[in-house]
Chain A
């Protein structure tokens, strides 16, 4: 088409020049002018456009995410038409792309808004956004520009645990304990008369002087619950009919345990064999137990991104075997998986003998018990089955 226009222009100019007919020359100029303007305009428009996409990049599930697109025309010429296409995953919206065709006046800024919904946890690309324009007459092919994708992190659901029984062998901490073995000298709850066998360091000398009778301090027992979550994201470890819901429930459980621990001002760590989208080349490095909300957000971010793997580098047993040496004495181990077998019981038994406190939590609507639960309980390894999030809420 464009070549045809050029030929027509050349013919008009040639005949006009030869015959001296002014109107033919003017006609040639007019078509040539319109043609050149039409060719130059879209490129100029696109060069003078700036686009920006703004949205909250970390959200919790079920939150509505407003995405605002700002398009600014810096040129003194208008943009005849501009087709904006912003891609986003189908998990976040009913439609796959935000599409709008606009026209922009000179030096004008336009704000477009659309909404996404964080239906479930994940690490989602928003974009890339393409801007497409062309000329008025269809003489040029559409030209494109755009901005790259930004990423949205949707944290996993955090379910507040009611009263989880989390045993620990680690004495003297922040959590109250029923066993008098774990008396905390910082938690004086009262005084009583001296009895034979009471250590001298428990004697409260001021009270003894006041009472003229030997008084000893009584302490509240407490434990320090340092926990590490072993999250098994090997799909083979889950029942075939629970390969989606099982790992997801395990992730939600891990997030809930971590949140509960941080709320109770306890240290919590995470070791998983899943796949981090940002680190696809290797396995995820373990997160050592730490306290504080900042640490919790770090854990939740990882749990938002993490994905299941089929036959990862380390299976659950290898993972426990590999990392238990590095854990402190008395640490509580949460083993989140979809199946329990003899080898896992054996590994946890070894772990238990090293002074750690393992708990097995089986996640998924269908769980695989290749050995009876009693086998674990016989070695005082608690086994808990969570079929749905409702079970977690009741925990």
Chain B
């Protein structure tokens, strides 16, 4: 018998998963660095860029270390530290680039800086180190935060709803994977640039270089997929721990091993599959596209043929040479030729033409929409259709988002130009609804009206006053109606802060009581005025 060693909650190997994720991210950065080096080598073959991958790894490691130290800081402290860290990296990167490019004579360097500061400071080695360095810094910071957030949220399963926790974990996971996929695409572009032969006569000529790109891309993808597997394990473990399942302690180790096996298998298969059919495929693709285009042209021609005929038939006599805009016409005024049609005939002819066109368009449109109304639900099930629709929806949302953002900015600007007046009468206006559909909304409206009314008659509510504090104010002013005011206050508090069901009879009672109170306030105000 093989008893399973199990743990109900987290164990040491599970604590190692975040560490593994950070390690994978460093590996990804190293591979990205290789891509950078390859691309830069194409443009500047005389310069050495071998240090870039190691530079990125170094910055990532230091950032990870500082991230662990700054975790407990508050935001302002952290921001201040980040600024100082950025400046430090700028200086260190400059120092490294100087060492690598052999600029060790500091006296000469300072002399040059005095003469041409910017040109000598931002030289090629520095800029080519700065870009990957800053990418490594930003990437590590973002991902460290994501990992921390992931871990923090994962621990919430003990007290939060599992669904919520899992949704937020999935969202964080999507961010991680999305970012790395974007990085993969960037890497592909870098490698494409590093490998594609470019030959622009008299401008630029870059021959084909040796390829290590396939290995870099495959390794990057493999690490990406392993990260995906680790985050999936974290998600599943959250569920299992919530479910109080006993978990085999070896599952984390084996998960990693199996991920590597999958990657290795897929990698071997990838290398074995043929890659030499690209030209034929491309030719086939062009041929297929031309056939499709021919069919589409024929279809358009057939559709427009009746209109062309009609147009030719009706307007063939009206052809006149175009005139240049802005110049006086050199032609004599048009006089009706003998035998030509009168003006009314031209009008009738135009009406008939447009009538026919619009009629055909109307019938075709009707037919089209009646057909597509049946097709739409079917098309809705189509994955591609859904994706296109989602794309347009997100595009529209983006436009609306931008529009809203601009509107908000304009509003804020307006507010800055004209500072808002502080309201002399704080009220519950935000609670008021335009149309009271139920008893709760009616009660809220009635109370808001009462507060406004009382405020207008000298019993203003301070912004800091609670409903009960305001009740004391009103009761002291109207001691005879203190029970009604108490009732109004209590029902308002119930309507505002509870989920109790309130019926219409309560609303009507409050309406009559507020009326009573308002009358009393008005009476008092009139008396004091006299």
Listed in ascending order, the chain A residues whose CB lies under 8 Å from chain B are: 3, 7-8, 16-27, 29-31, 33-34, 37-38, 41, 78, 80-81, 83, 85, 95, 99-103, 108-113, 134, 136-138
Contacts and interface: CB of A to CB of B under 8 A. Distances in A.
Nearest to B269: A33
A34 B2 contact: no
8 contacts: A8-B181, A29-B269, A29-B273, A30-B222, A41-B262, A78-B254, A99-B245, A112-B4
Contact of B240 (A27, A38, A83, A137): A83
Given A21-B195, A99-B240, 11 more contacts: A21-B192, A25-B273, A29-B270, A33-B270, A34-B262, A37-B262, A80-B255, A83-B245, A99-B243, A101-B6, A111-B1
B175 to A, nearest CB: 14
Contacts of A83: 240, 245
Given A17-B277, A18-B278, A21-B195, A99 B255 contact: no
Contact of A101 (B2, B240, B262): B240
Interface in B134-168: none
Contact of B266 (A18, A33, A113): A33
Contact of B275 (A25, A103, A109, A136): A25
A108 B2 CA distance: 10
Given A80-B258, A81-B255, A136-B229, A30 B267 contact: yes
Contact of B282 (A17, A41, A110, A134): A17
A100 B248 contact: yes
Interface of B: 1-4, 6, 181, 188, 191-192, 195-196, 211, 213-214, 216-218, 221-222, 225, 228-229, 232, 235-236, 240, 243-248, 250-251, 254-255, 258-259, 262-263, 265-267, 269-271, 273, 275, 277-279, 281-282, 285, 383, 387
Nearest to B247: A101
B228 A137 contact: yes
Residue in A37, A41, A81 with the greatest tally of chain B CB atoms within 10 Å: A81
A109 B2 contact: yes
A30 B211 contact: no
Contacts of A103: 248, 250-251, 254-255
B214 A26 contact: yes
Nearest to A108: B2
B223 to A, nearest CB: 12
Main secondary structure of the interface of B (DSSP, over half): helix
Given A22-B275, A138-B232, A100 B246 contact: yes
A23 to B, nearest CB: 4
A17 B248 contact: no
A113 B3 contact: yes
Contacts of A112: 3-4
B232 A34 contact: no
A3 to B, nearest CB: 6
B154 to A, nearest CB: 15
Nearest to B214: A23
Given A24-B188, A100-B6, A138 B251 contact: no
Contacts of B254: 78, 80, 103
A18 B281 CA distance: 7
B275 A34 contact: no
A136 B270 contact: no
Nearest to B184: A27
Contact of A136 (B6, B196, B211, B258): B258
B259 A37 contact: no
A8 B250 CA distance: 33
A110 B4 contact: yes
A20 B235 contact: no
A108 B250 CA distance: 15
Contacts of B277: 17
Nearest to A28: B270
Contacts of B263: 34
Contacts of A27: 188, 214, 217-218, 221, 270
A37 B279 contact: no
Contacts of B250: 103
Q: A-B pairs with the 3 shortest C-beta distances?
A: A33-B266, A23-B214, A29-B270
B266 A34 contact: yes
B266 A30 contact: yes
A230 B244 CA distance: 47
Given A23-B214, A30-B221, A99-B245, A110 B2 contact: yes
A18 B255 contact: no
A19 B278 contact: yes
Given A38-B262, A99-B245, A101-B240, A26 B270 contact: yes
Contacts of A23: 188, 191, 195, 211, 213-214, 216-218
Contacts of B236: 81, 134
A33 B272 CA distance: 12
A26 B225 contact: no
B228 A102 contact: no
B7 to A, nearest CB: 10
Contact of A99 (B181, B195, B244, B278): B244
Given A18-B282, A21-B195, A99-B246, A81 B262 contact: no
B278 A20 contact: yes
A75 to B, nearest CB: 13
A19 B211 CA distance: 15
B218 A26 contact: yes
Nearest to A100: B246
A110 to B, nearest CB: 6
Contact of B2 (A22, A41, A95, A111): A111
Given A78-B254, A81-B236, A111-B1, A37 B266 contact: yes
A33 B221 CA distance: 12
Given A137-B228, A137-B229, A17 B278 contact: yes
B100 to A, nearest CB: 28
Contacts of B244: 95, 99
Nearest to B240: A101
A111 B2 CA distance: 6
A27 B255 CA distance: 23
Contacts of A78: 254, 258
A80 B229 CA distance: 11
B384 to A, nearest CB: 9
A142 to B, nearest CB: 9
A137 B232 contact: yes
Contacts of A113: 1, 3
A82 B258 CA distance: 14
A2 B220 CA distance: 20
A7 B386 CA distance: 13
Residue in A24, A108, A134 with the greatest tally of chain B CB atoms within 10 Å: A24
B167 to A, nearest CB: 14
A58 to B, nearest CB: 24
Contacts of A80: 254-255, 258
A78 B248 CA distance: 15
A138 B173 CA distance: 11
Given A21-B195, A23-B214, A136 B262 contact: yes
